[in-house]
Amino acid sequence: MAARGYGATAPASIQAADGVGHGSTTAASDVDVYFSADVETDGPIPGPFSMLSFALVVAGTFDGKTFTRPTNYDEHFYIELRPISEQFQEEALRVNGLDRDRLVSDGTDPQIAMTTASEWIRDHSRGGRPVLVAYPLSFDWTWLYWYFVQFSKHGSPFDHSRCYDVKTAFAVKAGLPISRSGRSRIPDVLRGQHPHTHHAVDDAIEQAELFANLFEWSGR
């Protein structure tokens, strides 16, 4: 299973390195640890369709007073999965560029993938509370929560509700209705510098940068 240009792959294509700062003296168990997530799929919903890849990037910490962004975005996890059904949409595959036929034979078994991801999240939370971050949250959360509950022997590392919707946060701070808070409305000052390529790692890093900028933004 290849990681498509993201360096040497560890077992199950896990890629991780240190790089997040922890500037608070608050007990670790009282700290939220944010994980920016991006998923690539072959359809709109899990079950009838399959998640083909996903990435998680450590996106910062918050102890209720101080938000600390990572010093870099090298702490990431990436994996490609074997499809769980025969259904797929050609349009979805054109967007993400993944070779579904290859993943049928070479993709990681979902039970191994989700259990390993759960353990990686636990290890990189360093005793804090992991929180899933996405824009919009509804899509990525639906896929990851379903897959964690369905396949990971540890269940969901984010429990049933520890999540942060960047779209809602932007709408509130910008004073916009949700219906007018799409990515096209985001001002340049908030946008990340990392390219959006539809590879899960790139998109999760770009989203992590946006999340950190928005967290520190005072609003309109």
Give the residue numbers marked as catalytic: 198
Q: Which amino acid is at 65?
A: K
Largest CA distance in the chain: 50
| Rg of the chain in Å (alpha carbons) | 17
Which phi-psi region, left, alpha or beta, contains residue 5 (left: φ > 0; alpha: ψ -120 to 50)? Answer: left
Strand partners, 163: 132
DSSP 96-148: H---HHHHHHHSBPHHHHHHHHHHHHHHHHTTSEEEEEETTHHHHHHHHHHHH
* Residue for token pair 């269940």: 155
Which phi-psi region, left, alpha or beta, contains residue 72 (left: φ > 0; alpha: ψ -120 to 50)? Answer: beta
DSSP 43-96: SSSBTTB-EEEEEEEEEEEE-SS-EE--S-S--EEEEEB--SSS---HHHHHHH
